[in-house]
Amino acid sequence: MDLAQYVKENQQVADFVKSATPGVIDKYVGTLDYATARFNTILLKLSQDPLMADQYRSDVEECFQVIQSFYKNTKRYVTSPYPFKPIFVFVLYVIGMTKIPKIKFLLEKINN
């Protein structure tokens, strides 16, 4: 997947963040907002240096998959009936604690 395709695929995540009702799922939307902003910064920096883009291709794909997974589970949390919400809270917690920080670490690697 090329860098432009990542941006197009993340557009639905950005639209979801913009249209989210304030106060309902703030911490999940905030996590998506930060992760998407960092990922877009990564894509911008990599678009300026094609050699670095090739070097970090697998890391970028992994970060993209993490954002998509968090987005899909957030949507499931919003649309699920009340008895199932704790399951999605746990899934979102695990993704947020174990996988979302990889996006920040990749951004720090690219900046240095």
Residue 3: what pLDDT?
Answer: 87
Domain boundaries, the chain: 3-18+25-111
Higher model confidence: residue 95 or residue 2?
95
Note the pLDDT of residue 24: 65
pLDDT score, position 4: 87
For residue range 68-79, list pLDDT tens digits in order: 999 999 999 988
Residue-wise pLDDT for 42-69, tens only, equals 999 999 998 999 999 999 999 999 999 9
Q: Which pTM does this prediction carry?
A: 0.90
- Alpha-helical runs (H) found in the chain: 3-19, 26-48, 50-55, 57-79, 85-98, 101-111
- Residues 70, 75: Cα–Cα separation, whole Å: 9
How much of the chain exceeds pLDDT 70, in percent? 99
